[in-house]
Chain A
Amino acid sequence: MLFPAKGPTAIKEISLLGVFLAYTLVISIIERMIPLSFTIPGIRLGLANVAVLLALYLFSFSKALLLLLMKCFMAALLSGSPAALMYSLGGSLLSFAIMLLLLKLGKEHFSPLGVSIAGAAFHNTGQILVACLLMKSRAVLFYLPPLLLVAIFTGTIIGILVSRLRPFLQAWM
């Protein structure tokens, strides 16, 4: 069971997860409307990862994964495209896996900045791999190297947000 506990902590967790989910859905719509780059397609800040990474720090891994999966499926419903689901699942799951791995390796080695940079890079990698599968071509890999550099920039911004918000939310929990 994901939420066996009763009491104020469980209520706070459930309500915060709900707020996170609503936030990721709204931000995914807004980010789609604002392209950040005109040379490499599809660059986004990845603000939804603020919620996913905070959930990984504040809650158990299974609750963070639940948030991520619900975000992917509900965002796909909103966009109405099955291909969008494959891209978001491919990127999100790979990004989630690397962030989880880094947190298990030790919070003393990596700050939220490093974790979110790695998460951003693997999100891009996952999406490029899905594109390779869908287009049946390795030529799409051409986009990956610049995207990895962009991930350092976007991941840093997301990491700063997470490290600023985390103590505040931890105190509230």
Chain B
Amino acid sequence: MIKKGDFLISAVLILAALAGMAISSWGKHIAKGDISADIYLNGELIKSVAKSEEEQVIRLESAAGYNVMQISPQGIRILEADCRNQDCVQAGLIYRSGEIIACLPHRLLIVLRGQKESEFDAISR
């Protein structure tokens, strides 16, 4: 039997999700060259690639395993990885600032950042 509190919980979650989406899409725009992909391994920035550059394929290898990523004018995606869950490959193409691809088993994180970030953007990250 559904009770009043159940609706309250769901309502709070919907509000929290909408607020979170609003914050994360603040200033988000489809990039036209003014965006870069920051690649982190174990929390350290190891590479920052401007997205407007010509298509390139980068292979990153660490003690945990490897990821092969493709950077193209359309965006960035992971083509191949030797992780078990393949979440990073299934995440597909990302192309808007603020979007991320995470490979949790390899502790690899790709964050798209707009070059002209507003102050708000910097805070919300």
Contact = CB atoms under 8 A, between A and B. Distances in A.
A103 B98 CA distance: 37
Interface residues of B, number: 39
What's the interface size class on A, roughly?
35 or more
Contacts of A135: 40, 42-43, 102, 104, 107, 109
Q: Which of the listed residues B10, B21, B99 has the most CB atoms from chain A within 10 Å of its own CB?
A: B10
A161 B7 CA distance: 18
Interface string A39-51: 1011000000000
A103 to B, nearest CB: 11
Contact of A114 (B5, B91, B98): B5
A135 B18 CA distance: 25
A117 B88 CA distance: 27
A111 B109 CA distance: 39
B20 interface: yes
Contacts, number: 115
B69 interface: no
A170 interface: no
A83 B92 CA distance: 24
Contacts of B91: 39, 41
A169 B23 CA distance: 45
A59 interface: no
A148 B17 contact: yes
A152 interface: yes
Contact of A142 (B1, B100, B105): B100
B35 interface: no
B46 interface: no
Closest 9 A-B residue pairs measured CB to CB?
A: A136-B43, A41-B87, A114-B6, A145-B20, A109-B5, A110-B5, A148-B17, A145-B17, A145-B21
